[in-house]
A and B are shown apart, each in its own frame.
Chain A
Amino acid sequence: MKEKRKHVIVAGGGVAGMEAAGSLAEMGIRVTLVEKGEDPGGHLLQWHALFPGRRPAEEVRKYLRKRIAHENINVITRTTVEKIRHHGHEVIADLSGGKQERADAVIVATGFDLFDAHRKEEYGYGIYDNVITSADLEDMFNRKKVARADGSPPSRIGFIHCVGSRDEKVNNNHCSKVCCVTAVKQAIEVRKLLPESEVFCFYMDMRMFGPYYEELYRESQEVHNVNYIRGKVSEASVNINNRLVIKVEDTLAGRPLKMELDLMVLMVGMEMSKPGTRLAEASGLNTGINRFLESADHHYGSNLSGVAGIFYAGTCTAPMNITDTISHSRAAVEETVRYLGGR
């Protein structure tokens, strides 16, 4: 008798989920890819260009779309996995809307949420017109127009690093890793779109961890004249000319600083996603003090949940860039296949 074909549910259709689904399908495994949005793609859908080379995000999107265009993959959109239960050797996933899906294993790839900038009220997001987030700026790049709320071009732009990251006040002690280099990339893009503008980055530390990141940081200063001030912005207000006034401490010069800005970009960090948190709570999966999913072993088991048949891929375990997410996702597939073969 022919053995029944293996079936894996992938929870989350972002970069990690799409890569995992593609790899599994290639190996002849049936995949159900569950995505909460209208289309798979995750946060990448909003992005215009990617660091460090500023290649169009569309190129990676195209790769991932091709990856999941496979007969073994069934994509369910506008749906989340709410709970994973065990039933003998099988796992049962309770989906939003009351449906259930049976499978041999689940790869959790629920990803991250961007930090809600409203929670740092002192920066005035949602209160002042010209305070935007890094994601909003990326949207402006998509529309090829960086402008203030009244449509005028900004002459001085400030990037505020670590918004919702490394901040005890919002219960996030972790570093979101990618915002530093995103700010460098966006600063260069702004300078290229608006050659007359001045750009300032207010940072705590510049964490250029990946290949060519440090080079990009250097280029931004040497070629594009981006200014870097080490210090955290304490508060923002608007003056009578409707320009933003920020208070910041220049910790290298050792003095307080007041500066007027036309546009302020908040580099929002990564947090565990809300559907991911719900899934972890309902299914009894461990989360760390940073609220991301906690793997069975930090060094050699970062894809393992510690529960049979449940595996982790991508930023549901920690902030990551796309390169690392794809590698992590492939590793999750390897662990899953080994589990399915050994049963």
Chain B
Amino acid sequence: MSSEIFIWPFNLGLYFILIYSVVRSTIWFRSLSRADKLRLQRGFFGMPFMQSIREIFMESLLHRRIFKKNPVLGYMHMSLAFGWFLLIVFGTIEADFFGEKHLNPPSHAIFFRWFNPEHGASGLASVFTQWMDFLLAFILSGLLLAIIKRFIPGMMGMKKTTKHTWTDRIALTSLWLIFPSRLLAESFTCGVHGSGGFLTGNLGAALASFLPAADMAPWFWWLYSLSLGTFFFLLPVTRYFHIPVELLLIFMRNSGITTADRWSAYSEVQTHACSSCGICISVCQMSRAAGINDMQSAYFIKGLRNERDIAAITANCLMCGRCDEVCPVGIELGPLRLIERRQGERPATRLKFIDRYGLTRRREQIEREPTQSYSYLVPEEEQQADVLFFAGCMTHLTPSVIVAMKKIMDSAGVRYRFMDEQGGVCCGRPLMLAGRDREARELINHNSDIIWKSGAKTLVTSCPICYKVFRESYYLEAQVMHHSEFINLLIEEGSLRLGYLHRRVVYHDPCDLGRGSGIYDEPRAVISYVAELQPVPEERSMSLCCGGSLGNLTLSSEKRALIAADAAGTLTRSAPDELITACPLCKKTFAQATETRVSDIAELVAVALPKPVRRTRSRSLANTVKVVADGL
């Protein structure tokens, strides 16, 4: 009997998902920009292809990144993905080797035991049977962990796990049913025929001893086929679509395609490649410190995928970038959120939402809404300088940083001009974070004009927020430096003479300086030069957000205070003398959140500057007396 009816749910599902994947990929490919199409074509015949194969093996099958985060969680993912992969590969080989003919349809490999119930009695066939049983046991062990994780997420280092839609639940159920039903189907068949390996053979014999195995077997083969078929059919509308899409994503990324700042096919591929694993929820400080559990990237991506109204989710994010760091799929979560914010502010998303409800009058109103303009800004007079110092709006709120920077630059003999001493124009980044690119560009043009006219070689800023936008969105000849880099340069050049302060300090990496711009070492070098720098629990790329972020305009002050207190508590766990940061916003935020003294790196360095000698005779006499007295 070569064709049974029960194989058809599986067959239909498989052919459906294969055709669907091809069609979907073609649509995505066609909507890529010309440049991205070329990147992909070039990638296919070059190194990116090999890199992708390697990455697919390491990440999609072995799940190395998840392994690093938590070995049990990694094992769970690996056993399901890699185990299933091996089961398919060796199942196909087995069917090809021992089947009736070569090049069987996939169903023959999947339901091999049904078609060859006596197989595996001796020789190589028995080795194969044992191996296939081992693979099944390997997968089942992972499945057991998955079930445990669903009910006790804490066991695998996950604080929270994502909430599922009902389609996800059905797909999840069918996925969970696939392997147990295969186990029982094979066992019953083996039980009837006295065949099978250590797992199916023994279980089959045991079951056959008290159950009518011959009658039961077809039921489980049906269940096995139905589970597979259901899973394949639901795949495109559930989170499990990430399995095929992730392969495409890896290939696209390795070919050099990036999210950039506009919605594209690549953005769509990324939203479909999200597995909703929930790792982003666990690292999110809004979750761990402020109890907000429904705004994280997994929900943002899910909302995008299902085209829900996610304006509230899109806005409620600190944009600290911790989730970008840990995403096992490597989705560019921050840039995607920024794209959505831009569309949210402009009519696009709102119109889509409004159209659905036919509110045309409101639509006309939105289209008439005026946009802001900074056309009233007058260009400034030309003023020459070697070094320009741009404090930025936030640094103007922390005047001690300005005072310290002036002292340091004067002490090092830097000839500088303080670009915004009398109040300048914003760097433009807060507007960009709010998705108002056009208005931001007006400010960028205004500032660029001043910087170009000055002929400065170096632009120093005390604010990481300004620093990032100067580096990324301005076209300047001047080298942009954060003041921590600049101070480090002055120390290395030997222009600064500094004393050593006997203080134990910790350093907080500001989001935009660390994760945002990759500046981790210079601030540490500067601090270590003048004080004893102690490590903190979460630093460098996993540094915490202070909670004061400009990236979130909807979070309440109370929630911000909770995040700040939690972060400050983590940073000052070792009871340091001082908490050092390199961002005026972090400084202001932490100053309200901890009893520990909070200073900017520039303030710390300014204290280490040599003091002007001003000693009176009586004072030195008093000191001498004291020294003599101590000596006695």
Interface pair A171/B400, CB less than 8 Å apart: no
Query: Residue-by-residue, is B385-419 near A (CB-CB < 8 Å gives 1, otherwise 0)?
Result: 00000000000111110110000000000000000
Chain B hits for A237, CB < 8 A: 396, 399, 402, 421
Q: Nearest CB to that of B557 among chain A residues?
A: A168
- Decide if B379 is an interface residue (CB 8 Å cutoff): no
Q: Does A119 make an interface contact (CB < 8 A)?
A: yes
A236 within 8 A of B: yes
Q: Contact at A127–B397, with CB atoms within 8 Å?
A: no
Can you name the residue of chain B whose Cβ is closest to the Cβ of A236?
A: B399
**B592 with A119: CB separation less than 8 A:** yes
Query: B288 within 8 Å of A by Cβ?
Result: no
- The answer to whether A119 and B591 touch (CB under 8 A), given A168-B557, A169-B557, A171-B557, is yes
Q: A122, B397: Cβ atoms under 8 Å?
A: yes
Whether A228 sits at the interface, judged by CB under 8 Å, is: no
Contacts of B587 in A (CB 8 A): 121
Inter-subunit contact B399/A121 (CB<8 Å):
yes
Question: Across the interface, do A121 and B588 meet the contact criterion of CB distance under 8 Å?
Answer: yes
Which chain A positions have C-beta within 8 A of B557? 168-169, 171
The tally of CB-CB contacts under 8 A between chains A and B is: 37
Complex contacts, A119 vs chain B, CB 8 Å:
591-592
Q: Indicate if the CB atoms of A128 and B399 lie closer than 8 Å.
A: yes
| Cβ of B561 under 8 Å from chain A | yes
B423 near A: Cβ within 8 Å? Answer: yes
In contact, A121 and B400 (Cβ under 8 angstroms): yes
- Write out the residue numbers on chain B whose beta carbons fall within 8 Å of the beta carbon of A236: 399
CA gap between A227 and B268 in the complex, in Å: 60
The reply to whether B592 and A127 contact each other, CB–CB distance below 8 Å, is no
Is B591 touching A127 in the complex (CB atoms < 8 A)?
A: no
Say yes or no: is A247 at the interface (Cβ < 8 Å to chain B). Answer: yes
B423 touches A247 (CB 8 A): yes
A290 to chain B, nearest CB (A): 12
Closest to A121 in B: B398
Q: What's the Cα separation between A234 and B396 when bound, in Å?
A: 10
Contact partner of B400 (CB less than 8 A), chosen from A127, A168, A235, A258, is A127
- Complex Cα spacing A127 to B396, Å: 13
Task: Specify which chain A residues have a CB less than 8 angstroms from the CB of B561 in the assembled complex.
Answer: 171
Interface size on A, residues (CB 8 A): 16
Distance in Å: Cβ of A243 to nearest Cβ of chain B: 13
**Chain B 401-456 interface residues, beta-carbon cutoff 8 Å to A:** 402-403, 421, 423
The reply to whether B592 and A171 form a contact with Cβ atoms under 8 Å apart is: yes
Q: Establish whether residues B398 and A122, one from each chain, have CB atoms under 8 Å apart when the complex forms.
A: yes
Chain B residues 254 to 284 lying within 8 A of chain A, measured CB to CB, are none
Tell me the dominant secondary structure on chain B's binding face. helix
A127 touching B423 by the CB < 8 A rule? Answer: no
Confirm or deny: A124 has a beta carbon within 8 angstroms of a beta carbon on chain B: yes
A69 adjacent to chain B (CB < 8 Å)? no
Identify the closest chain A residue to B397 (Cβ). A122
Contacts of B592 in A (CB 8 A): 119, 169-171
Complex Cα spacing A12 to B588, Å:
32
Chain A residues contacting B400 (CB-CB under 8 Å) are 121, 127
Residues of A within 8 A of B588 (CB): 121, 169
Query: Which B residues from 604 to 620 make CB contacts under 8 A with A?
Result: none
Given known pairs A127-B403, A171-B557, A171-B561, the reply for A235 and B591 (CB within 8 Å) is no
Report the minimum CB–CB distance from A205 to chain B (whole Å): 20
Q: Mark A234-245, 1 if CB is under 8 A from B, else 0.
A: 111100000000
- A245's nearest neighbour on chain B, judged by CB, is B422
Task: Give chain B's interface residue range (CB within 8 Å of chain A).
Answer: 10 to 19
A250-293 interface with B by 8 A CB criterion = 258
Counting chain B CB atoms within 10 Å of each CB, the highest count among A171, A247, A258 belongs to A171
**A247 to B396 alpha-carbon distance, docked (Å):** 11
List B contacts of A258 (CB < 8 A): 423
- Which of A121, A124, A170 has the most chain B CB atoms inside 10 A of its CB? A121
Whole-angstrom distance between the Cβ of A128 and the nearest chain B Cβ: 7
CA distance A119 to B402 in the complex (A): 17
Query: What's the minimum C-beta distance from A149 to chain B, rounded to whole angstroms?
Result: 15
- Nearest-Cβ distance from residue A154 to partner chain B, whole angstroms: 20
In angstroms, Cα B557 to Cα A119, docked, is 16
A88 to B421, CA, bound (A): 66
Using CB atoms, name the residue of chain A closest to B561.
A171
Q: Which of B555-611 contact A (CB under 8 A)?
A: 557, 561, 587-588, 591-592
Which residue of chain B has the shortest Cβ distance to A131 in the bound complex? B399
* Chain A nearest CB, measured from B406 CB (Å): 11
Distance, CA A124 to CA B398, complexed state (A): 8
Whether A121 contacts B396 by the Cβ 8 Å rule is no
In the assembly, what is the distance between CA of A337 and CA of B398, in Å?
52
CA distance A171 to B588 in the complex (A): 13
Measured CA separation A247–B591 after assembly (Å): 23
Q: What is the minimal beta-carbon distance from B2 to any residue of chain A, in angstroms?
A: 75
Q: Do residues B423 and A122 form an inter-chain contact, with CB atoms below 8 A?
A: no
Determine how close the nearest CB of chain A comes to the CB of B591; give it in whole angstroms. Answer: 6
A119→B592 CA distance, assembly (Å): 7
Alpha-carbon distance between A182 and B397 when the two chains are bound, in angstroms: 26
Closest chain A residue to B591, Cβ basis: A119
B399 contacts A122, C-beta separation under 8 Å: yes
- A124→B399 contact, CB < 8 A: yes
A235 touches B403 (CB 8 A): no
Residues from chain B with a CB closer than 8 A to the CB of A124 are 399
Minimum Cβ distance to chain A for residue B462 (Å): 13
Near B by CB (< 8 A), chain A positions 215-236 give 234-236
Cα–Cα distance between A236 and B423 once the two chains are bound (Å): 11
* A170-B587 Cα distance, complex, nearest whole Å: 13
Question: CA separation between A258 and B422, bound complex, in Å?
Answer: 10
Contacts of A235 in B (CB 8 A): 396-397, 399
Measured CA separation A122–B400 after assembly (Å): 9
Known contacts A127-B400, A237-B399: A121-B423 contact under CB 8 Å: no
Q: Closest CB-CB distance, A129 to chain B, in whole Å?
A: 12
Q: What CA separation (Å) do A124 and B403 show in the bound complex?
A: 10
Q: What's the nearest-Cβ distance from chain A to residue B569, in Å? A: 16
Question: Which A residues touch B403, using CB under 8 A?
Answer: 127
How many Å from the CB of A326 to the closest CB on chain B?
33
Chain B residues within 8 Å of A169, by CB: 557, 588, 592
Would B591 and A122 count as touching, CB distance under 8 A?
A: no
How far apart sit A247 and B588, CA to CA, in the bound complex (Å)?
A: 19
Q: CB-CB < 8 A to A168: which residues of B?
A: 557
Q: How far is the CB of B363 from chain A (nearest CB, A)?
A: 32
A128, B397: Cα distance in complex, Å: 13
The residues of A that contact B423 with a CB separation of less than 8 Å are 247, 258
Cα distance A258–B591 in the bound complex, in angstroms: 27
Give Cα A258 to B423, complex, Å: 10
The CA of A198 and the CA of B22, in the complex, are separated in Å by: 79
B397, B421, B587, B591 interface centre (most CB from chain A within 10 Å): B397
B277-299 interface code vs A (CB 8 A; 1 in, 0 out): 00000000000000000000000
Minimum CB distance partner of A170 in chain B: B592
Could you tell me the distance between the alpha carbons of A128 and B403 in the complex, rounded to whole angstroms?
Answer: 10
In the complex, chain A residues whose CB is within 8 Å of the CB of B402: 237
Measured in the bound complex, the distance between the Cα atoms of B406 and A237 in whole Å is 13
The CA of A169 and the CA of B547, in the complex, are separated in Å by: 12
Interface residues in A133-184 by Cβ distance below 8 A to B read 168-171
CA distance in complex: A127, B587 (Å): 15
- Taking CB atoms, residues of chain A closer than 8 Å to B397 are 121-122, 234-235
**Chain A to chain B: the 3 pairs with minimum beta-carbon distance, closest first:** A122-B397, A168-B557, A124-B399
Other than A119-B591, A170-B592, A237-B421, give 18 A-B pairs with Cβ distance below 8 A. A119-B592, A121-B397, A121-B398, A121-B400, A121-B591, A122-B396, A122-B397, A122-B398, A124-B399, A127-B399, A127-B400, A169-B592, A171-B557, A171-B592, A234-B397, A235-B397, A237-B399, A237-B402
Residues of chain A at the chain B interface (Cβ within 8 Å): 119, 121-122, 124, 127-128, 168-171, 234-237, 247, 258
Query: What are 28 A-B residue pairs whose CB atoms fall within 8 Å in the complex?
Result: A119-B592, A121-B397, A121-B398, A121-B399, A121-B400, A121-B591, A122-B397, A122-B398, A124-B399, A127-B399, A127-B400, A127-B403, A169-B588, A169-B592, A170-B592, A171-B557, A171-B561, A171-B592, A234-B397, A235-B396, A235-B397, A235-B399, A236-B399, A237-B396, A237-B402, A237-B421, A247-B423, A258-B423
